[in-house]
């Protein structure tokens, strides 16, 4: 019988690649194979069912001499028990490797989420992420690789989806961080790298300095009280102009600081909740004695039985010196979306507050209160941020996903 463990570390260190492939035997079928290009592999030769077989035990020096011998001895024990070691080692190795991939960790994470949310996120991953990054070890995926995937979505015209996928990927990375399978959240490195949602649909101001100028101009508006209040409230709540001007007092619970827009008045035909900041409640409290407590919050100048016209807010902006190419009432939504995304708030929270809902969602599964605590906190921080811009001082960033409960 061939002598076991005949290799030494000194002999391994001295061995050099040659013009032809060769091997250094260690005994028991184990040998270190060299190829002319410098590659070195541990291989184990053995007989299985009367035929010569060979299996790889790793590369050197990643697999040391000691570890290669341990693998050889384990394989020989399996052979003695009439078990093919190739199948056993393959079965043992695959789950460990797969457990580190983005797809495996994402699936593991989604299994712990509510069925509806997990199904939607999984579908996005299957369409946009798994084909490109699914098999990659999550710890080795770079921010540049993830950005390339997100840009691919963006170039298809799906900006909202790109932001949502980034947000979902961030949650997977943070989960991997907690289980020790990643060292950082690369999705967080991409804040501000995607085009803002819907910024080209309506004229809007998104530069913080110019927003401050606009808010100061609004504060100086000398028009009707109802129009003034609506103009001040619009950037704070960033609902659609039609939803704002047709609001009725019975939709508001000022004590709870909550505005419930009924389904019949929303674009998606679904009830929508708008958390009200301290600033928003103050505006409505001041208006309540003038137009409340029943009927329209912002009535027409001609009759209280109708709400203000659809041109009232835009006309007010024009009277302040802003052209239709600079800003329109609907542009307050783009303003909020852009700034909140740039400040790294969770895209799902922003999109839900904007009442952006995917058309393929089952109507009965829609949850109007989803993310409500996070959205409430976000809306207050947004109002505080706008106050800072209006004051013209140094403004601290609104917040980040890390702050959201």
Residues marked active site are found at 240, 267, 330, 333, 356, 366
Rounded to whole angstroms, the Cα distance separating 155 from 164 reads 15
Contacts of 24 (CB under 8 A, 6+ apart): 7, 11, 12, 15, 31, 32, 34
Q: What does DSSP assign to residue 307?
A: B
For residue 368, give both structure tokens. Answer: 């109007």
Among 296, 269, 198, smallest CA distance to 238 is for 198
Among 64, 92, 80, 63, smallest CA distance to 28 is for 80
Going by their DSSP bridges, the two strands 30-34 and 40-48 should be labelled as antiparallel
Contacts of 187 (CB under 8 A, 6+ apart): 143, 146, 166, 167, 169, 170, 173
Say if residues 328 and 357 touch (Cβ distance below 8 Å): no
Rounded to whole angstroms, the Cα distance separating 62 from 125 reads 34
The angle at the Cα of 79, spanning 86 to 30, to the nearest 5 degrees, equals 70
Taken in order 44, 45, 47, 51, the sign of the CA dihedral is: positive
Among 140, 136, 162, smallest CA distance to 149 is for 162
Helix axes 115-128, 143-155, angle to 10 degrees: 90
Rounded to whole angstroms, the Cα distance separating 212 from 348 reads 26
Rounded to whole angstroms, the Cα distance separating 241 from 245 reads 6
Rounded to whole angstroms, the Cα distance separating 301 from 310 reads 13
For residue 231, give both structure tokens. Answer: 């103009």
């Amino acid at each position: 019988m061939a002598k076991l463990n005949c290799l030494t570390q000194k002999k391994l260190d001295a061995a050099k690649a040659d013009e032809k492939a060769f091997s250094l035997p260690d005994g028991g079928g184990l040998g270190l194979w060299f190829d002319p290009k410098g590659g070195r592999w541990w291989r184990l030769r053995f007989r299985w069912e009367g035929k010569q077989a060979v299996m790889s035990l790793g590369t050197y020096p990643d697999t040391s001499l000691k570890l290669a011998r341990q693998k050889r001895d384990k394989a020989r024990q399996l052979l003695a028990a009439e078990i093919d070691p190739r199948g056993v080692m393959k079965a043992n190795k695959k789950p460990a490797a797969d457990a580190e991939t983005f797809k495996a960790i994402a699936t593991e994470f989604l299994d712990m989420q509510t069925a509806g949310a997990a199904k939607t996120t999984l579908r996005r991953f299957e369409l946009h992420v798994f084909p490109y990054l699914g098999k990659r070890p999550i710890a080795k995926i770079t921010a540049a690789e993830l950005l390339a995937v997100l840009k691919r979505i963006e170039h298809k015209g799906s900006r909202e989806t790109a932001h949502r996928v980034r947000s979902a990927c961030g949650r997977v990375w943070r989960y991997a961080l907690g289980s020790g399978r990643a060292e950082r959240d690369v999705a967080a490195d991409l804040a501000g790298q995607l085009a803002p949602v819907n910024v080209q649909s309506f004229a809007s101001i998104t530069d913080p300095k110019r927003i401050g100028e606009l808010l100061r101009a609004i504060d100086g508006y000398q028009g009707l009280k109802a129009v003034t209040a609506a103009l001040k409230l619009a950037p704070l709540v960033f609902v659609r102009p039609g939803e704002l001007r047709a609001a009725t007092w019975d939709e508001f619970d000022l004590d709870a600081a909550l505005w419930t827009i009924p389904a019949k008045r929303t674009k998606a035909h679904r009830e929508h909740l708008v958390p009200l900041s301290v600033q928003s409640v103050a505006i409505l409290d001041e208006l309540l004695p003038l137009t409340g407590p029943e009927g329209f919050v912002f009535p027409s100048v001609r009759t209280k039985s109708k709400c203000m016209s659809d041109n009232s807010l835009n006309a007010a902006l024009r009277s302040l010196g802003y052209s239709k190419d600079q800003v329109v009432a609907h542009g307050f939504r783009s303003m909020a979306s852009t700034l909140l995304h740039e400040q790294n708030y969770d895209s799902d929270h922003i999109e839900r507050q904007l009442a952006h809902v995917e058309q393929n969602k089952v109507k009965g599964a829609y949850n109007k209160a989803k993310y409500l605590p996070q959205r409430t906190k976000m809306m207050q921080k947004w109002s505080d941020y706008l106050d800072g811009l209006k004051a013209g001082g140094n403004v601290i960033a609104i917040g980040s996903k890390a702050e959201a409960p």
